[in-house]
Amino acid sequence: MFLVLFGSKVLGSLSFHSTTSSTIPRVSTSTSSSRRISTLSTNKKRNKPRPDLRMEAAPTPTSSAFARTVMSSLRGGALLQATGAGAASCAMATAAAMQSGPLGVAALTLIGSFVITPLTLYRQGYSFSVGYGFGIMAMGLSLLKVFWDESLMYSALALASAANSGGEFVSYLTQSSPILLVASMLFYGFRLGSFLLLREWTVPSKQKQIKSFDKSPPLKRIPFSISVSIFYAFMVTPVLYSCRQMSSNGGTNSIIALIGAIMAWSGALLEAVADFHKFLVKRGKDSSEDFVGPMNGVYAMSRHPNYLGEIMYWSGILVAGVPSFKRSPIAWICSTLGFVGIYKIMTSATDRLEKKQDEAYGSQQLYKQWKMKVSSKLFPTDPVSFFVPSIVLLFGTGLAIKLIELICKYATGMP
């Protein structure tokens, strides 16, 4: 019960920084919008600091607040109020750690643990399936809330105004990489967590597989869930430092970061398409011993395009974050460990699934034909089969960025 209350306080109090309202700050839709955009560009050129929109530090408890606490204790509410005050203080400390200092990765770990630990207590296998997806989404939400006024609002303004920036289109677009990265985390995490839940609920073999992981007593699962949260925080570290750089320097201004963001979105969409395609083809055939595919679409360029998409996504996240690492050993070490870890996991999962399929379908002619036609186990080697899916993925990525642009226009009040 304490974990639930504590987690809700942390996630709830990491809200958009505002002095008078909890809504997203809006820019007026008339001439003041263009004036603010031009100011953003001018400040960038002149190295002028952006206006400080951060809220002031919360006032310390006064004697009257202490008196109210004493009165509350006499009424039996001291424990609840102390718990709420402690959770609020922890939330503020977590937000401050994410904004600067060496404890940003630890703060991300804490956010992820509030999601992953309860799910792991329910199902141990959720730590690396449903908890994986929703944990990444929770970290993305925390980054969005903590860094909105600090950096992401300006990244959103840059993306919203890029289409009308004329000759400065690329310059504005390169400043949009932080908001694109955070948006990709929200999409990736929610899509993956929801899909894995849907698959478990509708595929009996997946239900059995998830239950088979429940081998440890619930309390012994907590250290494992925390270690998993640390690993996921390592993977997200590049996005954290990208947001920090936008906050401190006024923009990433790096074409490398933009390329990484596009790569990440392409990988997320590839994995989504591959997962959904396979789910539709195999739906209702869970007990079938015959190979049914899929064999076309993205499965014509790689036999395991969902794992390829996962590697592409985290490769893009790493590439996009590199320009913001500079000389930070924490950024370099954590990001590298996170990427190497997920890369090893995906390549090992590819080998295991390949072996499982060979044992189940190795003697079937249809499987042999597909395997001969698609020689790539993971990374595409045939340019012809890779060309059409890659064009479609780039087109889908462009649509996704356009949708994010429209959302940014709404969030910032751009016309």
Q: What is the pLDDT of residues 297-336, one digit of tens each?
A: 899 999 999 999 999 999 999 999 999 999 999 999 999 9
When mean pLDDT is compared over 53-57, 214-218, 331-335, the highest value belongs to 331-335
- Judged against a pLDDT cut of 90, whether residue 51 lies above it is answered with no
> What value does the mean pLDDT take over residues 30-34?
38
* pLDDT, the chain, mean: 81
> Is the previous residue joined to 294 through a cis bond, with omega within 30 degrees of 0?
yes
DSSP class of residue 378 equals S
Range in 63-67, 150-154, 212-216, 227-231 the model is least confident about: 63-67
* Cα-based distances in Å from 5 to 9, 57, 68, 81: 6, 23, 21, 12
* Cα-based distances in Å from 335 to 21, 79, 86, 232, 257: 36, 40, 31, 10, 15
Query: What is d(CA 280, CA 291) in angstroms, rounded to the nearest whole number?
Result: 14
- Judged against a pLDDT cut of 50, whether residue 18 lies above it is answered with no
Domain ranges in the chain are 2-14+88-412
- Judged against a pLDDT cut of 90, whether residue 401 lies above it is answered with yes
Confidence of residue 74 (pLDDT cuts 50, 70, 90): very low
> What value does the mean pLDDT take over residues 28-38?
39
Are 127 and 225 spatial neighbours (Cβ–Cβ below 8 Å)?
A: yes
Q: What is the pLDDT of residue 381?
A: 85
122-139 pLDDT, tens digit per residue, is: 999 999 999 999 999 999
pTM, 2 dp: 0.80
When mean pLDDT is compared over 37-41, 121-125, 162-166, the highest value belongs to 121-125
- Judged against a pLDDT cut of 50, whether residue 52 lies above it is answered with no
Q: What is the pLDDT of residue 188?
A: 98
Place of tokens 């809200």: 15
Confidence of residue 53 (pLDDT cuts 50, 70, 90): very low
Torsion of CA 279, 281, 282, 283, to 10 degrees: 70
Residue 28: CB partners within 8 Å, gap ≥ 6? 413
> What value does the mean pLDDT take over residues 375-387?
87
Confidence of residue 384 (pLDDT cuts 50, 70, 90): confident
Confidence of residue 85 (pLDDT cuts 50, 70, 90): low
Q: What is the pLDDT of residue 76?
A: 43
